[in-house]
Amino acid sequence: MKKEALKKIITKIFKKHNLSLLHSKICADALINAELVGSPSHGLSRLKMYCDRIKKKLINPNPKIKIKNISKSVCHIDADDSIGFVAADVAIKKAISITRKAGIGFVAVKNSGHYGLSGYYAEKAAKKNLIAICFTNAPPAIAPYGSKKKLFGTNPICFAAPTSSKIPFVLDTSMSMINRGKIRIAAKLGKKIPYGTALDKFGNITTNAEKALSGVQLPIAGYRGSGLAWMVDILSGVITGSNHGGKVRDPFDDFNGPQNVGHLFILMKPNLFINNYNKRIKENIKKVKSLSKIKNGNDIFFPGQNKFKRLRQNSNKKIKIPSNILKDINILLK
């Protein structure tokens, strides 16, 4: 299905679930972007989940989002249980606005929900010639190092910076060996997950997606990944006033209340300390790319290059929708 037609359908579905036209389009754009950049785990596969939570009044379709300006460069947003796409859209726009004036901006968000891909928002800042660091916490998936009980979310860290080209540097990575969305898709399609990425509930390594969901995901780099996931829980959960310490609800399985996910956006102008950022970043990237390549290696890519390539290639193609997701879409349209 072409992206324009798909956007109209998704917008219609969100409007049917009482979101405004503007908010519906914001959600549709984020979901379609995930599909186009090759991250279907954060795309259409989550549409039904968002709608289910709206129906159960766990996502507020008409939030009264409150922005508290703490200083010229710091603000705190209460998203009023908004869908995460809308909360993050408000937050990144506010962060960009204050950073362009003050040089640096901190925007914290509480009472939000899952907002999709962190890189989607960080890239918006980089395209405005700003550096961005984004944090968000998630439902329990990773066991703290030394424990066999999951507590931390996959808790992504995202960094984006403008480059000398049209393609921004965007590093968006979760603290787990594999993101939870991919495991959910594998479970839904009856596929296996890579060996060494998760344990079942008995602590055994498993490639069974269903067993992984009820078990524990393994962090990147052992105790280092566990520590980074904890750091993100503090930055996006503790200091923002959001749920933390394993209290973020799973959007697919826990319907006992809103998620109260937290986000933290930290932005800065790249020329705060120097006047020749563009020259220096160009030199930096050129130096790395000029290194000798491994056997059969074509190029050394900086984070964000492959995603941009996929986006460009997929933008004029039809988006393939798996039959099970297409079935959900048709039901949601009725």
Is residue 319 included in any domain, yes or no?
A: no
- In a shared domain, residues 257 and 117: yes
pLDDT of 297 higher than 80:
no
How many CB atoms within 10 Å of residue 301?
14
Is residue 318 included in any domain, yes or no?
A: no
pLDDT of 226 higher than 80:
yes
Is residue 320 included in any domain, yes or no?
A: no
For the segment 232-254, what is each residue's pLDDT rounded down to a tens digit?
Answer: 999 999 999 999 999 999 999 99
- In a shared domain, residues 60 and 154: yes
Count of domains observed in the chain:
2
Is residue 301 included in any domain, yes or no?
A: no
Choosing from 268, 300, 326, the residue where a domain stops is 268
- In a shared domain, residues 82 and 172: yes
Looking at residue 97, its pLDDT comes to: 98
Kindly report the CATH number assigned to the domain that includes residue 42: 3.30.1370.60
- In a shared domain, residues 99 and 7: yes
Identify each DSSP E strand in 57-190 by its residue range. 66-69, 74-78, 104-112, 131-136, 157-161, 169-173
- In a shared domain, residues 232 and 110: yes
> Which range marks the domain in which residue 200 is found?
184-218
d(C-alpha 182, C-alpha 325), whole Å = 15
- In a shared domain, residues 76 and 195: no
- In a shared domain, residues 71 and 103: yes
> Residue 192 — φ and ψ, nearest 5°?
-85, 160
Looking at residue 181, its pLDDT comes to: 81
163 pLDDT band, cuts 50/70/90, is very high
pLDDT of 182 higher than 90:
no
Is residue 286 included in any domain, yes or no?
A: no
Is residue 326 included in any domain, yes or no?
A: no
- In a shared domain, residues 124 and 204: no
Is residue 223 included in any domain, yes or no?
A: yes
Is residue 302 included in any domain, yes or no?
A: no
pTM of the model: 0.93
d(C-alpha 227, C-alpha 224), whole Å = 5
Choosing from 208, 233, 268, the residue where a domain stops is 268
Looking at residue 20, its pLDDT comes to: 98
268 contacts 103 by C-beta, under 8 angstroms: yes
- In a shared domain, residues 28 and 56: yes
Mean pLDDT of 120-146: 96
pLDDT of 61 higher than 80:
yes
pLDDT of 225 higher than 90:
yes
- In a shared domain, residues 115 and 240: yes
- In a shared domain, residues 94 and 209: no
For the segment 103-118, what is each residue's pLDDT rounded down to a tens digit?
Answer: 999 999 999 999 999 9
> Residue 246 — φ and ψ, nearest 5°?
85, 5
- In a shared domain, residues 151 and 225: yes
